[in-house]
Structure 1
Amino acid sequence: MKTLFLQPPSFDGFDGGAGSRYQARREIKSFWFPTWLAQPAALLPDSTLIDAPPAKLTLDDVLVHADTHQLLVIHTSTPSFGNDVKVAEAFKARNPALLVGFIGAKVAVQPEESLARAKVLDFVCGNEFDFTIKEIAEGKPLAEVQGIWWRAAAGQLTKNEDRPLLLDMDELPFVVDVYAKHLRIEDYFIGYLKHPYISIYTGRGCKSHCTFCLWPQTVGGHKYRTRSVGNVIAEIKRAKELFPQVEEFMFDDDTFTDNLPRAEEIAIELGKLGVTWSCNAKANVPYKTLKVLKENGLRLLLVGYESGNQQILHNIKKGMRIEVAKQFTADCHKLGIKIHGTFIVGLPGEDQNTLKETIAFAKEINPHTIQVSLAAPYPGTFLYNQAVKEGWLDIEHAELIDEHGVQIAPLHYPHLSHEEIFASVETMYRQFYFRPSKILSILNEMMRSRQMLVRRLREGVEFFAFLKERNAKPMAAE
């Protein structure tokens, strides 16, 4: 079947392909590559991939493809599900014979509920869905396809046998060829990465058990399954041929540094290619490994610190010691490795004192840039189940974004309200960035590069416009 892989039109600036979670509008507009759609698309060379939000495509723009395709596959999420269903309904209304399926963590953990709520859906996928979609597109009867829930002709919902996780990751074809065929890479930008950039996965899964993290608890699993070093390097070589304009490669594995010897081996090969690259990392990589990575093209590490309070880190099973994180960060500063630090406010155990502690911690370790998110209890995570059980989340009002795609604060505690958690995001941003030393650092960065000057000015305008809009709306779920 002629297959259309679609990231649907949504709110202006809505990033449905967010690397690990937090599908939402951000303070500064950014877009991740739709790798979760590109990977199954790579298995079907005649398929089409459309990522509507970064391409600024409307429903009318994409709806014409209903006439020329027989299978529609939409990547959905808990925040975007309602909108995605409306898009699917529009496609089905235009082409009633169209087979429609959803992929993503939302339907993987709530398959029966999703099918019941969205009559337009013929099937939903669980776990990894690459070869699942390939089999469906090739005409295999739904009753025989592993890893799906589906709607039979009589309307009954049926669960098939689960599909085992893919262990040989080299079986997957390169996604960069799909990027080249269907996407304009200049449409994708992240505030802390060089532009244009490309992101790929060199493996799936994460051995950590952080209670809030979406992919390992839903579709990726806790076993870090990796591509061979040669396979990764071959894709980077291919990407260089296809995109000579790329300034940076981002490895979006949940934690690229889970396997230190492999990370070093890949780095050494990347060094031979002379490319600039970045990756996700835990705040515990030893100095020796950091030095090898830096000497072979590493520019930046994306590090999830989450909180500056040790008890909160224990509460979320982060497996990180504050003192270790401080030493790691100092080592990165010494080696000249930039850090984009991510923090989450409103996690279990949070109060006004821990919020202050996290702000002080962020200022002390001083990453180059930060991202502050609201604790988001996604269905399928330990945090979601815990929040429902403890009464921190009103399940009838558990929305993660508002009607404009902006993240809200769904969690609340007896000692900390929705409003206090919501307001702490802006407080942390202001206290971190509005310091003389940080302002001077940003100005120096802008003075050294005209491109960075234009970029930071644009981001500044977006940031303040976002805060103004954010503060004009309800602070949280009622």
Structure 2
Amino acid sequence: MTKNLKITVLTPEFYSYGALLIAGILKEQGYSVKLQKGFGKVIDDDIVFISLQSTIHLIKYQQEISSINAFKIVGGPVTLTPELILEHLQVDLVVVGEGEDTVYNILKFLKTNPSYQISDFKDIPGVAFKADNQTVITEKSNPCCLKRPLPFIPSEIARENIRGANVYLETHRGCPGNCGFCGVPCLFGRKVRSRPLEDILTEVKYMLSKGAQRIAISGGTGSLYGSKKFKSVDEESFVELLREISKLTGPRNLIIPDIRADLISDEIMEAVKKYSRGWVFFGIESGSDRVLRHMKKGISVDQVHEAVEMARKHGVKIGGSFIVAYPGEEEEDYQDTIDLADELMLDDYFVSIAEPIPGTQLGDEISKLSMEDNLLFQDSLKYKRHGLSIAEERALDFMMDSYIFRSFPTAMSQKLMKDLENEVKSQGEHIKSIIPLLKNH
């Protein structure tokens, strides 16, 4: 490869923050960089960085990725198990873990070694590749410095809608939680590393200048920004973060997607109310303490009640996420979850079937679970004519009930019920397609 490398950063379905960041880093280094969403345009560049967000992408976009004629590098949350990527996608390299420094090292190598062989990448930390039909994973790369160039913001960013936001903004990395279903601690570690506030505000101004309007702060658990002690919050830093971003965006255009129920305070909830859209999203997951312990969620049902009560006291709207059909969930556990959801009367609910992310505890557990013991492969008697499994039955019933539970109940129409049925079928098919990958890996 010549020194004048042409590069495309590709994100399949939406402009992920990771893709924007890598494109910005490459641009700052002086490379000719294009940012592309989807596979509609033919790529004729030398290198393609592909940011994959979901394991389903390994199946969904196999053909499109194989047809790209370039040096292909995959990064993103799916890289917790690089062997799986190299087994199912025709790509050259996988960036394992944090990618900023690794990407720079890869390009430096390609520029100075035009006659390379793939095995020559063995000395670059944080990559994986196939050589002689064997997967090679190099030594782990060091955590990246969070001072970096501005991300590459596309001109059409205002048309993006990612859970209500045009774009997500990374404020910190790492989470002290140890949830068995979550990839954040696996990818970024359990120690919290926060970005300088000045850099964050510069990035917000830049995003706004490029047309973004609604910005969501991201980092796993928003209130961990500035945290210096394990599993604790720095209220002053988090409140200052919200206040200063809000001065730029306006409160209605600042979204705080996720906060742990055990990492809040009156000061934090008051800041959420005053400086953002006034919503908080708790990962509640289950109404069974037994299941919560199995998930390693690190919270109890009592703490959920306390968190909801605190948020409500400050006039904050509350959304909650719940997971059904987690391995080991009995009918009694599921009923406890339904009862809790009914008691809480939240403003919004998000219900999902337990999805195994490769490289997480849940991924390992489901890979070892027999199909006969997996609720996703056990037929539902209640919805037999709909072709649903017990896992899908639980998700559908929960979703329907959630429209009655919420603070402003919604009548169940035929169309809404059909939409919910399609949603659980889509979730079920998605997860069913992943499980054979895990089992055969």
TM-score normalized by structure 2? 0.79
Alignment partner, residue 204 of structure 2: 236
Comparing 233-242 and 364-373, the one that deviates more? 233-242
Distance 2:356 2:244 in 1: 39
Per-residue CA deviations over 1:223-265 (Å, capped at 9, x if unaligned) read 221101222122222223332x61x321121011123322122
Alignment partner, residue 9 of structure 2: 5
Per-residue CA deviations over 1:304-356 (Å, capped at 9, x if unaligned) read 10011111111111111212211211221222212221110012331212212
Question: Identity percentage over the alignment?
Answer: 21
Alignment partner, residue 13 of structure 1: none
* 1:50 shift after superposition: 1.5
Alignment partner, residue 73 of structure 1: 49
* 1:370 shift after superposition: 1.0
Q: Does 1:163 align with 2:141?
A: yes
Kindly tell me: are residues 411 and 105 of structure 1, through their superposed partners in 2, closer, same or farther at Cα, counting changes over 3 Å?
Answer: farther
Distance 1:126 1:328 in 2: 36
What number of residue pairs does the alignment pair up?
394
Q: 2:215 aligns with which of 232, 236, 249?
A: 249
Distance 1:126 1:473 in 2: 27
Alignment partner, residue 88 of structure 1: 65
Q: Does 1:51 align with 2:37?
A: yes
Q: CA RMSD in A?
A: 3.3
Comparing 465-474 and 326-335, the one that deviates more? 465-474
* 1:106 shift after superposition: 3.1
Q: 2:282 aligns with which of 303, 308, 332?
A: 303
Distance 1:471 1:85 in 2: 22
Residue 180 of structure 1 aligns with an amino acid whose one-letter code is P
Kindly tell me: are residues 155 and 469 of structure 1, through their superposed partners in 2, closer, same or farther at Cα, counting changes over 3 Å?
Answer: closer
Summarize the alignment of residues 225-304 of structure 1 with structure 2, pairs less than 5 Å apart: 225-243=193-211, 246=213, 248-258=214-224, 259=227, 260-261=233-234, 262-273=237-248, 274-276=250-252, 277-279=254-256, 280-284=258-262, 285-304=264-283
Alignment partner, residue 180 of structure 1: 154
Q: 8 Å contact 2:146–2:195 — kept in the other structure? A: yes
Q: 8 Å contact 1:270–1:297 — kept in the other structure? A: no
Alignment partner, residue 146 of structure 1: 125
> Which ranges of 4 or more aligned residues in structure 1 deviate by more than 6 Å?
472-476
Q: 8 Å contact 1:212–1:381 — kept in the other structure? A: yes
Q: Does 1:429 align with 2:404?
A: no
Distance 2:216 2:7 in 1: 28
Summarize the alignment of residues 300-379 of structure 1 with structure 2, pairs less than 5 Å apart: 300-379=279-358
Distance 2:61 2:47 in 1: 15
Secondary structure of 2:149's match?
Answer: coil
Secondary structure of 2:319's match?
Answer: strand
Q: 2:419 aligns with which of 465, 468, 473?
A: 465
Q: 8 Å contact 2:323–2:354 — kept in the other structure? A: yes
Alignment partner, residue 439 of structure 2: none
Secondary structure of 1:434's match?
Answer: helix
Distance 2:304 2:355 in 1: 23
Distance 1:378 1:371 in 2: 18
Kindly tell me: are residues 463 and 431 of structure 1, through their superposed partners in 2, closer, same or farther at Cα, counting changes over 3 Å?
Answer: closer
Unaligned runs of 5+ in 2: 114-120, 228-232, 437-441
Distance 1:473 1:103 in 2: 24
Unaligned runs of 5+ in 1: 9-15, 18-32, 53-58, 93-97, 399-407, 444-456
Distance 1:79 1:303 in 2: 25
Alignment partner, residue 26 of structure 1: none
Q: 8 Å contact 1:388–1:394 — kept in the other structure? A: no
Q: 2:376 aligns with which of 372, 390, 409?
A: 409
Q: 8 Å contact 1:149–1:160 — kept in the other structure? A: yes
Q: Does 1:122 align with 2:98?
A: no
Between 1 and 2, higher relative CO (CA 8 Å, sep ≥ 6) is seen in 1
Q: 8 Å contact 2:346–2:407 — kept in the other structure? A: no
Q: 8 Å contact 1:344–1:374 — kept in the other structure? A: yes
TM-score normalized by structure 1? 0.74
* 1:379 shift after superposition: 1.5
Secondary structure of 2:278's match?
Answer: strand
Residue 315 of structure 1 aligns with an amino acid whose one-letter code is H
Per-residue CA deviations over 1:180-200 (Å, capped at 9, x if unaligned) read 34x43313242xx3xx63321
* 1:268 shift after superposition: 2.8
Kindly tell me: are residues 211 and 271 of structure 1, through their superposed partners in 2, closer, same or farther at Cα, counting changes over 3 Å?
Answer: same
Kindly tell me: are residues 81 and 296 of structure 1, through their superposed partners in 2, closer, same or farther at Cα, counting changes over 3 Å?
Answer: same
* 1:204 shift after superposition: 1.5
